[in-house]
């Protein structure tokens, strides 16, 4: 019975059905199923499948967005139950993420933040057009493992380099790893500015983040 529920949870993520994912999460709470188990054996299993299909070109960006929304809906139901029980998910690492100052593009950054959160990272999303010093301050404040910098304009890409320099000046490098992304960003650019990780899509970003924290 429990396995059937986990299978249905995974399927709700694969199909990007937020309402169904939420309904199944409520069912799990009613049946006193451990929320962490529901997340890991149900929803995360679905997310892994989405990642594989996306990697193979069988799923596309809209599918990924829908899967992320479904995951968010399920976790929103299960998190209060986890708090009530005093249980918690194993946190892989802390990530501070945002779109750099002067750039207001949101979709890619938000998708990466959602996917990281769904995959077990504690994520602090600073939003868009984030002042560069704010990345440094927040990373120091929360003890971040990773800072993620998004830029969708060639004119704002240079600010990714500046944040890396500022983190070093603040004594936070190399402990705090830096990931960069965005349409004009390339692996070559990431190497040039001394970033630790780069990905061109959200699922790739999760894999890179896991690698950086040794998960």
pLDDT in tens, 193-215: 999 999 988 888 999 999 999 97
Q: Would you place residue 110 in the very low, low, confident or very high pLDDT band (cuts 50, 70, 90)?
A: confident
Which of 204, 26, 23, 34 minimizes the C-alpha distance to 119?
204
- How does residue 188 score in pLDDT terms, banded at 50, 70 and 90? very high
Query: 96 φ, ψ to 5°?
Result: -100, 125
Average pLDDT over residues 1-11: 93
**Cβ(35)–Cβ(26) below 8 Å:** no
Q: What is the pLDDT of residue 44?
A: 86
Residues 79 and 115 in one domain: no
Q: How high does pLDDT run on average in the chain? A: 92
CB-based contact 176:157 (threshold 8 Å): no
Task: Find out whether the peptide bond into 174 is cis, omega within 30 degrees of 0.
Answer: yes
pLDDT at res. 64:
86
Regarding whether 106 and 51 lie in a shared domain, the answer is no
Final residue before a domain boundary, out of 63, 85, 107: 85
CATH code (residue 164): 3.40.50.280
The CATH number linked to 58 is 1.10.1240.10
- 153 and 78 in a single domain? The answer is no
**Residue 181 CA to its chain's centroid (Å):** 13
Q: Are residues 197 and 119 in the same domain?
A: yes
114 and 81 both lie in a single domain: no
Domain boundary pick from 54, 85, 116: 85
111 and 204 in a single domain? The answer is: yes
Predicted confidence (pLDDT) per residue in 133-171, tens digit: 999 999 999 999 999 999 999 999 999 999 999 999 999
From 51, 85, 119, the end of a domain falls on: 85
pLDDT digits (tens, 9 = 90+) for 130-141: 999 999 999 999
pLDDT (0 to 100) of residue 85: 79
Q: Domain check: are 35 and 56 in the same one? A: yes
Same domain, 9 and 76: yes
3-state helix, strand, coil in the chain (%, to 5): 60, 10, 30
Grouping H, G, I as helix, E, B as strand and the rest as coil, residue 63 is helix
Same domain, 107 and 208: yes
Question: Rounded to whole angstroms, how far apart are CA atoms 35 and 6?
Answer: 11
Give me the domain span that covers residue 185: 94-212
The total number of structural domains in the chain stands at 2
pLDDT at position 127 is 95
Q: What is the share, in percent, of the chain residues with pLDDT greater than 90?
A: 63
Question: Domain check: are 104 and 199 in the same one?
Answer: yes
Shared domain for 148 and 165, answered yes or no, is yes
Q: What is the dihedral of CA 22, 206, 94, 158, to 10 degrees?
A: -120
Q: Are residues 66 and 130 in the same domain?
A: no
């Amino acid at each position: 019975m429990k396995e059937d529920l986990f299978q249905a949870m995974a399927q709700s993520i694969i199909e990007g059905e937020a309402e169904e994912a939420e309904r199944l999460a409520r069912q799990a709470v009613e049946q006193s199923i451990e929320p962490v188990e529901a997340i890991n054996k149900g929803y995360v299993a679905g997310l892994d499948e989405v990642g594989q299909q996306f990697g193979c070109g069988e799923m596309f960006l809209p599918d990924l967005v829908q899967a992320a929304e479904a995951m968010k809906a399920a976790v929103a139901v299960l998190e209060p139950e986890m708090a009530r029980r005093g249980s918690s998910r194993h946190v892989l690492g802390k990530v501070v993420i945002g779109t750099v100052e002067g750039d207001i593009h949101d979709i890619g950054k938000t998708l990466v933040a959602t996917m990281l959160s769904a995959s077990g990272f504690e994520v602090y999303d600073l939003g868009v057009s984030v002042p560069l010093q704010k990345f440094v301050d927040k990373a120091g404040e929360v003890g971040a493992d990773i800072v993620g910098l998004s830029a969708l304009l060639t004119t704002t890409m240079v600010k990714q380099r500046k944040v890396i320099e500022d983190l070093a000046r603040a004594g936070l490098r190399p402990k705090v790893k830096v990931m960069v992304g965005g349409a004009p960003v390339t692996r070559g650019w990431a190497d040039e500015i001394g970033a630790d990780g780069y990905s061109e899509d959200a699922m790739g970003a999760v894999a890179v983040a896991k690698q950086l924290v040794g998960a």
